[in-house]
Amino acid sequence: MDENPLQIAQKQLEECAQIMNLDEGLVEYLKEPDRVMRVKVPVRMDDGDIKVFIGYRAQHCGVRGPYKGGIRYHPEVTMEETIALAMWMTWKCAVVDIPYGGGKGGIACNPKEMSRREIERLTRRYTTAILPIISPDQDIPAPDVYTNPEVMSWVMDTYSIFKGYSVPGIVTGKPVELGGSRGRISSTGRGVAIVAREAATRLGMRLSDARVVVQGFGNVGYHAAKILSEWGARIIAVSDSRGGIYQESGLNVEKVRDHKLETGSVLGFDGAREVSNEELLELECDILIPAALGGVITKKNADRINARIIAEGANGPTTPEADRIMDEKCELVIPDILANSGGVIVSYFEWVQDLNRYFWDEERVNAELEKIMIRSFNEVLKVKRELGKDATWRNAALSLALKRVVKAFELRGLWP
């Protein structure tokens, strides 16, 4: 049986802890989340019926600061997955050195089959349920799979109503009009594009010669594709949950986006050949960006992946067995905790702006994002060099993150 995301996350931690010679008790401490809340979310559906959903908020490790992480609405959300995603947030915030711990929330539901009003009631009831454990100093949610700025507005409004005054810093990824940050929407994709560009430069590859394949055409995949194509790369294939399209001469990303907005999918785009999501991952290319869901690169298909660089836009797209194979096959693998950290980095800027009541222009946001992404990319590269061939790229990124988390833990000490 395939491993669940929590088993994968724990395995990654154990493997890395071994390389670093970490104390066993410390590893046990980091394998467990600080706190997990499981909540019942009853919703009055549009037809008058009551439907009960199950939601979670996991807080993995708070030694470096308040918990931070998105809220996911997806039918396959489970407690284990939410904990794994929270753990990855701890490493992600540490690898780019922003002062947060890891959190994540989710509700098992299918938002594609729900009306906007039903999603609003679901969001408000869920926010009310997790209210005792969130605050701008404690745990700050954000968007994740199938949640967006509108959902964040409802989180912010619900929390503010209970407080009796507006609390913009309770959530990030809000609309700019409510205290959101300029540049937040494109930030995860922009971060992916920045590290992909840096990796290409390291390999002596010109971006204008690079052929890019993107799995997933949501917020992350679309913006990564758009920005890379603006920088001269050729986007030869993209996909969404229904399947993919391939055009060797390069897709016009904006036109694909318009087509998806019109028809609901990238499929049927003029002049492109259709490919399945599995075939898409195996296309020969220079840069592969898995930016859909987790667990798509496994030991079953890793051997057939044909890319020089992988930049993981999604959280957890590669299983541990596949990691080893990818490390041998690809010249440079940029693991999720680094590659997709642009979102939480700009979330951090948003929170800072909210707390200061002073807002930045987009140039400043993008420039500061770029600075952190490049610095972190270079730091991971350095650790990878120090650890040598036996360590994977993921080991390198994770060990940098773990070092920072462990340092904070040691400085604080174990109470009592």
* Residues belonging to the active site: 104
Comparing CB distances to ligand GLU, the nearer of 172 and 247 is 172
Structure tokens at 100: 């947060």
Q: Is the dihedral of CA 43, 46, 51, 56 positive or negative?
A: negative
User: Minimum CB separation from ligand GLU for residue 351, in Å?
Assistant: 9
Contact by Cβ (8 Å): 78, 43: no
**CB nearest ligand GLU: which residue?**
70
DSSP state of 6: H
User: Minimum CB separation from ligand GLU for residue 142, in Å?
Assistant: 3
Chain residues 90-119 in contact with ligand GLU, contact rule CB under 6 A: 92
Comparing CB distances to ligand GLU, the nearer of 18 and 241 is 241
Contact by Cβ (8 Å): 33, 79: no
Comparing CB distances to ligand GLU, the nearer of 23 and 362 is 362
Q: Which of these, 397, 331, 389, 342, lies nearest to 369 by C-alpha position?
A: 342
**Terminal alpha carbon distance of the chain:** 41
Comparing CB distances to ligand GLU, the nearer of 90 and 392 is 90
Q: x/- string (CB under 6 A) for ligand GLU, residues 122-161?
A: --------------------x-x-----------------
- Chain centroid to CA 98: how far? 15
Chain residues 320-349 in contact with ligand GLU, contact rule CB under 6 A: 340, 343-344, 347
Q: Cα angle at 297 between 296 and 300, to 5 degrees? A: 110
Q: Please report the DSSP string for 93-121 in residue order.
A: HHHTT-S-EEEEEEEE--GGGS-HHHHHH
- For ligand GLU (CB under 6 A), the number of binding residues is 12
Is residue 354 a contact residue for ligand GLU (CB under 6 A)?
no
Of 8-16, 64-72, 276-284, 400-408, which part binds ligand GLU (CB under 6 A)?
A: 64-72
Question: Of residues 5, 66, 69, 216, which one binds ligand GLU by CB under 6 A?
Answer: 69
Chain residues 288-327 in contact with ligand GLU, contact rule CB under 6 A: 315
User: Minimum CB separation from ligand GLU for residue 30, in Å?
Assistant: 19
Q: Report the distance separating Cα 404 and Cα 401, nearest Å.
A: 5
Q: Report the distance separating Cα 376 and Cα 97, nearest Å.
A: 8
Beta strand segments in 219-376, E: 234-240, 243-246, 273-275, 285-290, 307-311, 332-334
User: Minimum CB separation from ligand GLU for residue 21, in Å?
Assistant: 29
Comparing CB distances to ligand GLU, the nearer of 69 and 244 is 69
Helix H or strand E encompassing 213: strand 211-215
Comparing CB distances to ligand GLU, the nearer of 95 and 302 is 95
Task: Supply the angle between the helices 184-202 and 342-356 in degrees, to the nearest 10.
Answer: 140
User: Minimum CB separation from ligand GLU for residue 146, in Å?
Assistant: 11
Of 25-33, 67-75, 267-275, 387-395, which part binds ligand GLU (CB under 6 A)?
A: 67-75
Comparing CB distances to ligand GLU, the nearer of 102 and 320 is 102
Q: Which of these, 52, 48, 59, 56, lies nearest to 72 by C-alpha position?
A: 56
Q: x/- string (CB under 6 A) for ligand GLU, residues 169-188?
A: ---x----------------
Chain residues 360-399 in contact with ligand GLU, contact rule CB under 6 A: none
Contact by Cβ (8 Å): 99, 68: no
Applying CB under 6 A, the residues found at the interface with ligand GLU are 68-70, 92, 142, 144, 172, 315, 340, 343-344, 347
